[in-house]
Amino acid sequence: MTQLHATASVVPLPRRHNTNRGRKFPPDPIRAEEFALMLEHCRPLRAGREAELSAARLRVLLVVLYRTGVRISEALTLYEHDLRASERAIVIRHGKGDKRRIVMVDEWGWREIQHWLTVRRDIPPGALIPVVRGSLAGSEMTSPDVRRQLTALRKRTGLRRRIAPHQFRHGFAVEASREGIPLYSLQGQLGHARLDVAERYLRGIDPMERLAPIGARRAPMTVIPSIGQR
């Protein structure tokens, strides 16, 4: 007789994966009130100098992203010597396509950066947004580390929406456009090769807000009879 041997079937466990990986999201800019709320929650999570440095580092990173519109990869590869204090400018040495450009910083944002440079003296020289402890202290942070910190920050603020580094870039473009910054200037600041790419970033503006100037047009600069006049 043939003997049958039972073998236990192995059922593979489902793999945990990042549901956002590979997905493309429409422009969803950070709003000014959300930015202010996040800054408010950039506080030390425990006692000690290391926690204070981590909180201050997260705050200045958000300021750089939201007030300059640089990409997260560009922000993390900035070094202290890339700052031009006399011009309130930052040299981006490794932009998209490894292109070099200069971005400007407003007065409020520059004061935040200057304060961070004072705090940063406790960390070895190197990256502007550095690792704060261990043998890698002073070197560049990684993008996954930043994303984890943003997720934790979102939970602390209670914001019920996705928060990602690129949304600060979109938020910068929308706020700057509302303040009257020309699209051509935004193109240079954002490092876009084409003007139409910069224009896409403004899709986060409410349609009625964009159309409002049309409704506010003045009467034609000539004498035109009103309705009912003969």
What are the sequence ranges of the domains in the chain? 32-205
Q: Give the CB-side neighbour count of residue 159, counting CA atoms within 13 A.
A: 21
pLDDT range class, residue 113, cuts 50, 70, 90: very high
The C-alpha atoms of residue 143 and residue 24 are separated, in whole angstroms, by 18
pLDDT score recorded for residue 96 = 87
79-99 pLDDT, tens digit each: 999 999 999 999 999 888 888
What is the third-level CATH fold of 32-205? hpI Integrase; Chain A (1.10.443)
Matching residue, tokens 């090769």: 193
pLDDT score recorded for residue 200 = 74
Q: Which residue has the higher pLDDT, 20 or 170?
A: 170
pLDDT score recorded for residue 194 = 77
Contact 123, 130 (CB under 8 A): yes
pLDDT range class, residue 181, cuts 50, 70, 90: confident
Contact 90, 82 (CB under 8 A): yes
Catalytic site positions:
71, 96, 166, 169, 192, 201
The C-alpha atoms of residue 130 and residue 142 are separated, in whole angstroms, by 9
How much of the chain exceeds pLDDT 90, in percent?
60
C-alpha to C-alpha distances, 81 to 54, 63, 77, 105, 111, nearest whole angstrom: 21, 18, 11, 15, 17
Give the chain's end-to-end CA distance (angstroms, integer).
Answer: 113
The C-alpha atoms of residue 134 and residue 143 are separated, in whole angstroms, by 18
Among residues 143, 154, 113, 130, the alpha carbon closest in space to that of 54 is found at 130
Is residue 216 scored above 60 in pLDDT?
A: yes
Is residue 76 scored above 60 in pLDDT?
A: yes
Contact 117, 80 (CB under 8 A): yes
Residues 160-164 have a mean pLDDT of 92
Is residue 25 scored above 70 in pLDDT?
A: no
CA angle 134, 130, 155 (to 5 degrees): 95
Question: Which ranges constitute the DSSP H helices of the chain?
Answer: 32-40, 49-68, 72-76, 107-119, 143-157, 165-178, 183-190, 195-200, 207-215
Is residue 17 scored above 50 in pLDDT?
A: no
Residues 26-48 have a mean pLDDT of 91
Is residue 46 scored above 80 in pLDDT?
A: yes
